[in-house]
Structure 1
Amino acid sequence: MSDAPLSLRSRSEDLAAPFPALLAEAEHLAATVMVGDHGRRRAGAGDTFWQYRPAQNHDEMRAIDWRRSARSDNQFVQDKEWQIAQSILLWVDQSAAMSFTSLKDGTTKAQRARTLALATAILLLRGGERVGLTGDLLPPRRGEMQISQMAALLSEDHADDFGTPVADGMASHSRALFVSDFLGDLTGIETAMAKAAERDVRGALVQVLDPTEEAFPFDGRTIFESMTGAVVHETLKARDLRDRYLDRLAERKDRLATLARTSGWQFHTHHTDTAASSALLWTYSALERRA
């Protein structure tokens, strides 16, 4: 009897092992953030009453709510709530670099990035939006099943040292979220943002960093090695590199912020030793649908 089915099952279980934990953590994070319905409400096409507002010159006479207007010297119309679902696509860096943490048993950049992205997706879906992943892996849809599929896909690790955003699959006028440390070659993110701008896609860049990557606390003999071991650099005077490193990191952040601003996006840096809820609130607000 062949042991192939047993081997396949073992590999499948190993692959799926992080999935329940990621989903549970994202659900918990989403539950800690209280987002009122008003956060995404806009006047627009729909059948649900939202608010009364004073009539304006461009309003047609048939739009006047005469019952409400009879109680005042002014004329009022009803605004309906915008009910057109927005498509929002996510790209999360799953490269080896994201598995770094400077603390024993600390939160890795990958854990925080995936949890933050999935919690954002949960909030968006519950707000009536369609959410998916860039590329052709998971087109934007609604429903709880979408969350489960997204969690399974985001639980996978990729072998590359650094990740490159995938801009495929983004429909015109949709929204997008890219989450990464953005410490690799920025050519890929620039190309993806250019494609997004061509389609009038707006969104947010969230840079997730370990506190050590922000502070550079190294001194003396130090060996710097990428997570795959492909890049190794040894120095006897690590502190001499600190100022140059911090300058380059600041330049990179400024480059990312400028890229986001010129593309109509927003940029935010989040550290893994700070509360994930604050980053979730920022991200959800940055992705608010425009009427």
Structure 2
Amino acid sequence: MITPLALRSEAESLSSALPPLLAEAEQLAATVLLGDHGRRRAGTGDTFWQYRPAQDTDEARSIDWRRSARSDTNFVQDKEWQIAQSILLWVDQTAAMSFTSDKNLASKGHRARTIALATAILLIRGGERVGLTGLRLPPKRGEQQLAQMAALLAEDSDKDFGAPEAQGMLPHSRALFISDFLGDIEPTRDALFKAADRGVRGALLQILDPQEEAFPFDGRTIFQSMSGTMQHETLKAGDLKSRYLDRLAQRKEDLQSLARMTGWQFQTHHTNTAPNTALMWIYGALERRI
């Protein structure tokens, strides 16, 4: 039997890594005026969408007792407008995102997680349901949801590059993908097309370190992936600059084209700029109805 003391000790141990991320996200969220974005919507209709098992965050009055009487589980009716209020996030947590060119700059991954969690804070406190893609965390409201999201976002992956996960996205909901999008573009293409097929609209936020835009390398240089699994050595790094910058520009153009085709929005954010600019852009992008 678990004693209260042991349970508290385990909980404190589990949450010890969370306050810094949550605190930073809270501070970032506080810099954005909610305005119209933060109001609770009454919805655009009460068309029945589906039955789903009741969750702890559901009010008793929302339970469909007639449907629940036919089983041992309580059920709630999801309305069409409630689905539209669900936002699912995917944040790249792979090794490539741990890169930073300057110790005084946040890594791409830290900036991505902070912006994602700040977005979730504002959305949940504005009455939205927020979760993570890939069935990792179904969309819900409440402070407990934020704590669970922070715990999952604190995890790292040892893969070199990330791939957006489209599984678990509800029809006609919204989504936010945050990554450097420098790996294989095909998984991103597939995820966006699957999302579009379900009527999901959203935003792609590309996060880059300023060094990745400038390519300030010359002479003998060894390029190595953050996981250490890939390496390339050259004696004339300066000769690679124009080709690299052309490929980076092409990648941005491809992402912009994908977003345009699927009804999403695309933006690039740099770690040497204020994160609240990206947060405000996300709000505008998620609010657009296409």
TM-score normalised by the chain length of structure 1: 0.79
Q: Return the offset for 1:180.
A: 0.1
Matched residues, number = 247
Name the structure 2 match of 1:76.
none
Name the structure 2 match of 1:170.
169
Deviations 1:182-215 (A, max 9, x none): 0000111111111101101000000000000011
Q: 1:98 to 1:144 in 2, by over 3 A?
A: same
Q: 1:38 to 1:228 in 2, by over 3 A?
A: closer
1:75-86 aligned within 5 A: 84=82, 86=85
Q: Would the aligned equivalents of 1:96 and 1:157 in 2 still touch at CA under 8 Å?
A: yes
Q: Return the offset for 1:41.
A: 7.7
Q: 1:287 to 1:191 in 2, by over 3 A?
A: same
For residues 235 and 146 of structure 1, what CA distance do their matches in structure 2 show?
Answer: 48
For residues 36 and 240 of structure 2, what CA distance do their matches in structure 1 show?
Answer: 49
Q: Would the aligned equivalents of 2:88 and 2:174 in 1 still touch at CA under 8 Å?
A: yes
Identity fraction in percent: 68
Q: Would the aligned equivalents of 2:192 and 2:262 in 1 still touch at CA under 8 Å?
A: yes
Whether 2:121 is the aligned partner of 1:122: answer yes
Q: Look at both structures and tell me which one has the larger radius of gyration over its CA atoms.
A: 1
Deviations 1:27-52 (A, max 9, x none): 00000111203676879647xxxxxx
Q: Would the aligned equivalents of 2:40 and 2:126 in 1 still touch at CA under 8 Å?
A: no
TM-score normalised by the chain length of structure 2: 0.80
Q: 1:16 to 1:96 in 2, by over 3 A?
A: farther
Q: Return the offset for 1:106.
A: 2.2
Whether 2:137 is the aligned partner of 1:138: answer yes
Whether 2:277 is the aligned partner of 1:287: answer no
Name the structure 1 match of 2:87.
88
Q: 1:43 to 1:145 in 2, by over 3 A?
A: closer
For residues 162 and 142 of structure 1, what CA distance do their matches in structure 2 show?
Answer: 30
Name the structure 2 match of 1:21.
20
For residues 174 and 39 of structure 2, what CA distance do their matches in structure 1 show?
Answer: 14
Gaps of 5+ in 1: 1-8, 47-82
Moved over 3 A (4+): 15-18, 38-46
Whether 2:189 is the aligned partner of 1:209: answer no
Name the structure 1 match of 2:101.
102
Q: 1:93 to 1:135 in 2, by over 3 A?
A: same
For residues 253 and 123 of structure 1, what CA distance do their matches in structure 2 show?
Answer: 28
Q: Which residue identity is paired with 1:214?
A: E
Name the structure 2 match of 1:57.
none
Measured on the aligned residues, the alpha-carbon RMSD in Å equals: 2.4
